[in-house]
Amino acid sequence: MKTLLASAALACATTLPAYAETIEIAASGVNPTRAGNPAQFTGQVLVDALTTPSSAEFAGSGLVSFAPGARTAWHTHPAGQWLYVTVGSGWVQQEGQPVREIKSGDAVWIPAGVKHWHGATDQNTMSHVAVTPFHEGKNVEWLEQVSDAIYLKR
């Protein structure tokens, strides 16, 4: 019986993906801060990657800091996205719905396939941690920029 259980456990273990077995830390200050790609953002945006080698298999993760007036382009996520607002106040909008305010301490869930944008308000900075899981190797589809007319209409 003991042998049976042991071989069942072994069979189970060998069919699972090879997850990392040690904790990984993305140490602050190791990866340089980079500017947001101007094809994907309007205004001044800084990105600090937070992924570790193993976590990067499952989701993109980063701290994104928006200057006043800065925002993402319109985009969708094939497997959704979590936003954790760490500093300031900002705006998020789902296409066809009003702009909504988000502030430090808020957690936001963007459902899969929903066209949206997020960014600072026009008067204040906003930073959020974004966790964006992959589906079939992709975690975002970028669309057109958010015009000032859309951004400021609320």
Q: Give backbone dihedrals phi and psi of 83, rounded to 5 degrees, phi first.
A: -120, 130
Contact between 76 and Mn ion per CB under 5 A? no
Q: Are 130 and 64 in contact (CB under 8 A)?
A: yes
Task: Compute the least distance from the CB of residue 63 to Mn ion, in Å.
Answer: 14
Closest-approach residue to Mn ion (CB): 81
Stretch that binds Mn ion, among 42-50, 52-60, 76-84, 91-99 (CB under 5 A): 76-84
Question: For residues 81-140, which are near Mn ion according to CB under 5 A?
Answer: 81
Stretch that binds Mn ion, among 21-29, 32-40, 74-82, 98-106 (CB under 5 A): 74-82
Task: Compute the least distance from the CB of residue 112 to Mn ion, in Å.
Answer: 11
Helices (H), the chain: 2-15, 148-152
- For 30, 59, 138, the CA distances from 79, given in Å and listed in that order, are 28, 10, 9
d(CA 48, CA 136): 24
Using CB under 5 A, count the residues that bind Mn ion: 1
Stretch that binds Mn ion, among 28-36, 78-86, 87-95, 120-128 (CB under 5 A): 78-86
11, amino acid identity: A
Q: Are 45 and 92 in contact (CB under 8 A)?
A: no
**Where on the chain is the footprint of Mn ion (CB under 5 A)?**
81
